[in-house]
Amino acid sequence: MKHKTCVSIAENTPTKLKKTLKIALKKSDYAEIRFDFLKAEQIPKALNMVKAELTRAVCTLRPKTEGGAFEGSEKERISILKLISEYNPFLLDVEYNTIKKHKDLEKYLRSSKTKLLVSWHDFKKTPNSANLKNQLKKMSRHSSIVKIVTTAKTVDDSTRVLELYNKKGKTTLIAFSMGDAGRISRILCLYLGSPYTYVSLGKPVAPGQFSLDEVKKITNLKK
């Protein structure tokens, strides 16, 4: 079984984004485009520049409250998410809190048949098992593709997150932990059913993220 990777890209100009995306997709199965690192007015241009590659792209537009860099209003962010959906990316990653709050956005994405990835991050801790399972259940009502990421202080924290793979049912689950104590979960999730793991081309975009080369070395080890 080939373990798949998704390179996180956080560039601040459309030209840099196009260049880095081309490099990433030569080496990796998918790329995550962090559109929140661009200025809002640059995003339409960037979408046109990379539209041919979006069939292998996970698109995100994170607000600052969700660990992102988008500085515009929430109304503007919602309209840009709708615009991104019109380009039919491989996945459009929208935060659970956003989908829960903006029913009109969810309705719009359903009508446009956008492949929605609903995500939830805890940047401070890892909740207990019951809360994690409940979170998965609530998120699965909005999409069959769910991403749950916590912050691990101990290996036990990572283990609790990975136990979610036993509860996922028909849901396609991407679950792991950030931070040094969570690094191993970024690898183990591949063996438990995650469709891919997030990697960098060198400098980590998130705490504890492996580089693409590191993951390839680890997952290609011979017995």
**One of 16, 147, 216, 223 is an active-site residue; which one?**
147
Query: What share of the chain in percent tops pLDDT 70?
Result: 98
147 is catalytic: yes
pLDDT tens for residues 133-143?
999 999 999 99
User: Are the C-beta atoms of 194 and 172 separated by less than 8 Å?
Assistant: no
- The CATH number covering residue 40 comes to 3.20.20.70
**One of 113, 121, 137, 167 is an active-site residue; which one?**
121
Separation in Å, CA 9 to CA 65, 134, 136, 184, 205: 19, 31, 26, 21, 8
| Residue 60: domain span | 5-219
- Checking if the pLDDT of 223 tops 50, the result is no
pLDDT confidence tier of residue 131, bands split at 50, 70 and 90: very high
pLDDT confidence tier of residue 205, bands split at 50, 70 and 90: confident
β partners of residue 145: 172
User: Are the C-beta atoms of 59 and 91 separated by less than 8 Å?
Assistant: yes
- Domains of the chain: total: 1
| pTM of the predicted protein model | 0.94
